[in-house]
Amino acid sequence: MSTTVVENKKDFLSFSGRKREVVDEEVRKADFSEIPVISLNQDKESLIKDLKYACKTVGFFYIKDHGVPQESIDKLLGGAKTFFELPKEDKNEIHFSKSKHFRGYESCGDNNTEEGKRPDLNEQFNWGYEAKLDPIKTTEEVEEYEKNAEKDVMAGPNVWPAKAPALQTAVAEYYGHVLILARRLVKLFALALDLPETYFDNLFQTPGAIGRVLHYFPQASNDKNILGIGAHTDIECFTILYQGKVPALQVLNNRGEWIQAPPIDGTFVINIGDMLARWSNDVFISTVHRVLNLTGNERYSIPVFIGTQYDTMIEPLYTCVGEEGPKYKPIRAGEYVYKRLAFSRLSKEEYEEKIKTL
C-alpha cells in the first residue's frame, strides 16, 4: 500500500503509473456523484452501468445489500480490540518481521506509507489467504493447497495471537463472508470490462486476499505530516473496506481536492487497486487516498485487499488495449505484491536484499 511522492510532495505517482496532484489541502465532504452508493440488488444492466461509471471515473464507491452479516463484523472488531489491548510484548510475539509474508502484528511506527511524512499513526494485525479459511474449499482441496503453500513468495501460513484466541475464530468467519462477496464482485468487474462473466473465476480460486484490522490513534492536531495512513494507492485488484463509525477516510478526486468519505451504515467502501488498474490498462482507475483521524476518538477499520492468485501473470486485458497498445509489461501477481509490501516496510538495504531472492 505505497505511493511514490514526486516533485513538490503534493504530486503522487502510483505504482500503476497514474499521477495525481494535490491542488487544495482543505477537505470537504463528497457528494453522491463523486463517491456513488451502489446497491448489489438492482437489476444487472443498471448495476454494470453504475460499476463502469464508478470504476472508470472515481475509483471508489460504496456498496449496500452486500450480504455480509453485521454480527460477523462486530465479532471481528471485538476480537481485534482485545488483541490490541494486550501488552506490547505479547503482540510482538507475532510481529510481522518474523513472518516471510508480512503477516502478524505491525506496531505504530513500523510502516511509513507516504514518503516525506512521519510513520503512520496506527497499529495493525494482518493475515493472508489459506484454503482452510475459504468456505468453498473441500477437505481434499485444503490438503492439496497446504502441500504447495509456499511455492509462491507471498503464500504461506498465518500467525495468530495465543493470548487473544477469539481473534482467529472471528477472522475465519468474517473472511469467509468477504471471499464470497469478492467472487461476486469479480464477476461484475468482468462484465464491466466487456469480458465474459466467468473470465476471472479460475484466477480467484485461491486468491491473494490480504486481510487487515487497523487501530488508529486519535491525533492531537491537524498536522499534515502526521497521518493515520499516508496518501497511497492500494496494491491489489480491489479493496473491500469496513470503515467503522469514525470518519477519517479521505479520497483525492480528479480535481486534486481531498474529499471526506464518511461511514455509511450497512455499506462497504470498494476501491480499485493498482493491480486491476494495470490489468485493465488504466481503464479502471486506482485512486489516491489517506486516513486523517481528527475526531479525538480511536478508529478501527477492516480492509481486505483482493488480488488474483499469486501465480497469475498480470498483463493488459485484450478488451482494454486500444490503438495505443499496452501501457504495462507483464508481471507475476505474487512478485508484484511482495515488492510493494517490502518497499513500504523495509529499509532500502533490506528491500534490495529481499528482492534478490525473487
Q: For residues 127 and 155, what is the distance between their CA atoms, to the nearest angstrom?
A: 11
Q: Which domain holds residue 227?
A: 4-355
Q: Is the pTM of this model over 0.85?
A: yes
Strand order of the β-sheet with 267-272 is 37-39, 60-64, 267-272, 238-242, 299-307, 208-216, 122-127, 104-106
Beta strands in the chain (DSSP E): 4-6, 11-13, 19-21, 24-29, 37-39, 60-64, 104-106, 122-127, 208-216, 229-232, 238-242, 249-252, 257-260, 267-272, 289-291, 299-307, 313-314, 331-332
Residue 21 pLDDT? 55
- Between the alpha carbon of residue 36 and those of residues 54, 268, 303, the distances in Å are 7, 12, 19
Note whether 169 and 295 are within 8 A (CB).
no
- Between the alpha carbon of residue 274 and those of residues 17, 40, 43, 112, 302, the distances in Å are 9, 23, 29, 19, 19
Residue 2 pLDDT? 39
Question: Per the structure, how many domains does the chain have?
Answer: 1
Residue 238 pLDDT? 97
Residue matched to cell numbers 506496531: 107
Note whether 134 and 207 are within 8 A (CB).
no
CATH assignment of the domain containing 183: 2.60.120.330
**Mean pLDDT in consecutive groups of 10 residues from the start of the chain, 358 residues:** 38 47 50 80 97 94 97 98 96 91 88 83 95 96 84 78 96 98 98 97 94 92 83 93 95 88 96 94 94 94 94 94 90 81 57 50
